[in-house]
Amino acid sequence: MTLISSWLGNTPEFAVPFALAALGLIVIEKSGVLALGAEGLMLVGAVIGIGAYLTVGNTPLALLAAMFAASVVSLLFALMVLVMRINQVISGLVLVFFCQGLSTLVGSQFGWVNKPVPGLSEFAVWGLSDLPIIGRIFIQNAVVYLTPLIFLLCVWALYRTTAGLRLRAVGENPQAADAAGIPVLGYRLAAILMGGALIGLAGAFISVLSTKLWIANMTGGRGWIAVALVIFARWSPWRALAGAILFGCIEALIPQLAASGIKLSQYFVFMAPYLITLAVMVWVALSKRDSNSQPGALGSPFIREERI
């Protein structure tokens, strides 16, 4: 019973990075830019979050610094896909390689490896945290509670504001949006910067609040799982949140399995999230419902001079 209780209690902590990264990706991809760089931006967020904490000693500030740093690095991605019009798949991949190298170099040069940080204190929601079994879910740090609010805000911005409508128009049909006087590249740039900040926060969550220290390449493929999650969620933020919780459950189960004494090579257990991601991709492909939800112009550059 305590096992299930602590499993459920740990789930949000594992789910939040997936949720934030997937939301960031959705914001970018709604503008028609294929974003594969999540893994890299998360690494940048992770290293800068720890570095900022070790420098200034303030956790909220460290999280903001991580968001800012990931935005700055996404500027490079924006330069590649919006200005230089480099193939978006290549740009995303190169961004990941770039960030992996950069974050490792920066982290080890400044000596941020394996330095523990305190994270944020957890607090209980009054009343709910006393419930049996599921009570443990309601003892979390502030960012966990903020995540649903961030989702609400983003969904509202995407679907209820003029700017959100324009952003989606740019992603569906940039030529038409351009003809209507919407600055296509401006909206795409804004989406890339905001999405980058969210993905950076996801990375900083892993290093500053969850693991509470930094090691090279610590995101270990979670950025790619977020990419898969977006496909699974068919670009809907709420479905992405549900998917993130599902993956959080799976990840939270891994340490529990070890604790419960089930004899299984730990490396096979570590494979589970990736195999399950693969299975989810297959399942999505088999159930070809609603296949039109992908933004219409996803992955194609907008080149005004080639307009007829």
Mention every residue, 6+ apart, whose C-beta is less than 8 A from residue 123.
139, 140, 141, 142
Q: Which is nearer to another protein, 69 or 169 (CB)?
A: 69
Q: Which is nearer to another protein, 163 or 271 (CB)?
A: 271
- Shortest CB 266 distance to another protein, Å: 8
Q: Which is nearer to another protein, 3 or 271 (CB)?
A: 271
Instruction: Report the alpha-carbon distance of residue 60 to residue 71 in Å, rounded.
Output: 17
Q: Which is nearer to another protein, 105 or 165 (CB)?
A: 105
Q: Which is nearer to another protein, 157 or 216 (CB)?
A: 216
Say if residues 209 and 221 touch (Cβ distance below 8 Å).
no
Say if residues 45 and 210 touch (Cβ distance below 8 Å).
no
The residues that touch another protein, with contacts defined as CB under 8 A, are 36, 76, 80, 83-87, 89-91, 93-95, 97-98, 100-102, 104-105, 108-109, 216, 220-221, 224-225, 227-228, 231, 265, 267-268, 270-271, 274-275, 277-278, 281-282, 285-286, 303, 305-306
- Shortest CB 38 distance to another protein, Å: 11
Closest by CA position to 295, among listed 225, 236, 224 = 236
- Shortest CB 34 distance to another protein, Å: 10
- Shortest CB 112 distance to another protein, Å: 12
- Shortest CB 108 distance to another protein, Å: 5
Q: Which is nearer to another protein, 41 or 144 (CB)?
A: 41
Instruction: Report the alpha-carbon distance of residue 176 to residue 261 in Å, rounded.
Output: 59
- Shortest CB 161 distance to another protein, Å: 31
- Shortest CB 163 distance to another protein, Å: 26
- Shortest CB 28 distance to another protein, Å: 16
Q: Which is nearer to another protein, 27 or 225 (CB)?
A: 225
Q: Which is nearer to another protein, 128 or 264 (CB)?
A: 264
